[in-house]
Structure 1
């Protein structure tokens, strides 16, 4: 019997990334929708994630938080979905998963809050500066295809989600390379199912 998988989320959160990943896997899972504030800060949920944030998953006795970590874990836990390269071919896969979770998100969020590190600060922080992050990401997408392998992987779920959200909200600069990549990776039934589920949950909460 397969271990139960519980998905803790809010449809207006990074949980949308994990929802997409779960739909790519095509496995059964139970969704626990949490409201910001009370439910996320309840003792019951803080036992799952002391940060009081979503998403998180509980798979059997294993708790995983942080969207990129959840995507990587799920790709390994359900290898038949083919969403991770073979172990010895994961250099680019790990690189871009954690580039998007680290420098990309940090640079984008800094810019959105009006934080512009000076030259000395750029040396000390992992994301450097916004322009360098955008150029690095763009170079990775030259030539089309996918971010880390010849086929779609969990890295495309995560990197694609960051790019798609950034373009939609004007927090990632509009470039043809970024737009084309987002259109390419989101043109999938699993993405459409995931978006529909979260959009429906948002409407139900209104």
Structure 2
């Protein structure tokens, strides 16, 4: 006597998996592996159909209708000159002005120390040079750094509210910085500093950013 048992759930699942694999197995998968080779097989027989214009300008070929200029990743790369943001200007001009003042003041202190210590011993001359260079360099560096900080802040403020990068922004920024810096010294010193900084902002910074003195200086400033 023989008995037959109904199929279990495991047998049904195995049957379903086999059926699914047979349905989706077309035999044309280019990445399928064979028993003879473990690496995937690719079909390179239609590479001549690739149009290089569709992947321009990666290959230096420009597609028709898109112009003859390369594409750019960032918007500021479309122009040769990109104006620095207010934060970049603040850090850049303050640092450059401080270093410039330190070098200029230190050089002046060096000359002053050499003149004042003439005829003295070498140790006394070195001491006089160090004292004069440190005093002059620190004072001028602090003054230049503060003026550059004020000028950059006012220039960014006027540029934000006026909405245009015009010569008036630089003139007003210099005048405002001079007035604030020498506001406690009286009307005459404040007027002199205002006129000087306004003129420096127009002739120096604005003219340089307009490319009057050359492209290299324009990109630097």
Structure having the higher strand fraction is: 1
What TM-score results when the alignment is normalised by the length of structure 2?
Answer: 0.26
Structure having the higher helix fraction is: 2
Larger Rg belongs to: 2
What TM-score results when the alignment is normalised by the length of structure 1?
Answer: 0.27
